[in-house]
Amino acid sequence: MKELEARIKRDGRVLGEDVLKVDSFLNHQVDPVLMHKMGQEFYEYFQDKPITKVLTVESSGIAPAVMTGLAFEVPVVFARKHKSITMNNDMYVADVYSFTKKTTNKISISKNFLSKEDHVLIIDDFLANGQAVSGLTNIIQQADATLEGIGIVIEKTFQKGRQLIDHQNIPILSLARIKAFKNGQVVFEEE
């Protein structure tokens, strides 16, 4: 998505070797008009799938997920993040390891909002090491629901996230694909 790539070039800040800060339009301050266009891109790509639900993780996934849900006119469920959680029978729970923070968090979704009838589109802000998407995929399996596709705002193709997903034969659309950071600049994959 050219407009997103231009925005990353203009407003993204590269920190160290593998961190891209996009808190001026995606993670802390959000550009709703851009989010709306991203939702429509995801819709165009996945519109032939019988999507019944969009799934994401709080908080940065919510804005793009809600705009995608608006395009599909289906509910959006955002998984809650917890440092710890008391297991109970009302929730699906999965682990999400953070490579940057070197901690494992739990994510959870109420069983009321995901069932085996659901055809799910996962939307998330980043695909890097693939831990959040793996946690969501795990929850979809627990619910016996069908994963139809994965939509990512920014993928870092030099990290191992996509490898984790690719062998499952799930269609993935990443709106911006970064192959490297070079001298503090973002280098995108060719389209």
Q: Which residues bind a copy of itself (CB under 8 A)?
A: 23-25, 28-33, 35-36, 58-59, 62-63, 66-67, 69-70, 73-78, 80, 109-110, 112-113
Q: In terms of CB distance, is 34 or 178 closer to a copy of itself?
A: 34
- Residue 6 marked ligand-binding: no
Tokens of 190: 């060719």
130 is in an annotated binding site: yes
131 labelled binding-site residue: yes
Cβ proximity to a copy of itself: between 58 and 95 the closer is 58
112 is in an annotated binding site: no
Burial per residue of 110-149, b for 16 or more beta-carbon CB atoms within 10 angstroms, e otherwise? eeeebeeebbbbbbbbbbbbbbbbbbbbbbbeebebebbb
Nearer to a copy of itself, 29 or 141 (CB): 29
For 32-43, the DSSP string reads: HHHHHHHHHHHH
- Smallest distance, a copy of itself to C-beta of residue 160, A: 28
Residues 6+ positions from 73 with CB-CB distance below 8 Å = none
Nearer Cβ to a copy of itself (153/165)? 153
Minimum CB distance to a copy of itself smaller for 109 or for 172:
109
Annotated binding residue 128: yes
Task: Find where tokens 């994510």 sit.
Answer: 107
Q: Is 27 marked as a binding-site residue?
A: yes
Which residue type is seen at 158?
F
Residue 44: strand, helix, or coil: helix
In the bound complex, what is the minimum distance in angstroms from residue 95's beta carbon to a copy of itself?
19
- Min dist CB 10 to a copy of itself, Å, is 14
Q: At closest approach, how far in Å is the CB of 149 from a copy of itself?
A: 17
Contact 1, 64 (CB under 8 A): no
Do strands 119-127 and 146-156 pair parallel, antiparallel, or not at all (unpaired)? parallel
Provide the annotated binding site for xanthine: 20, 27, 156
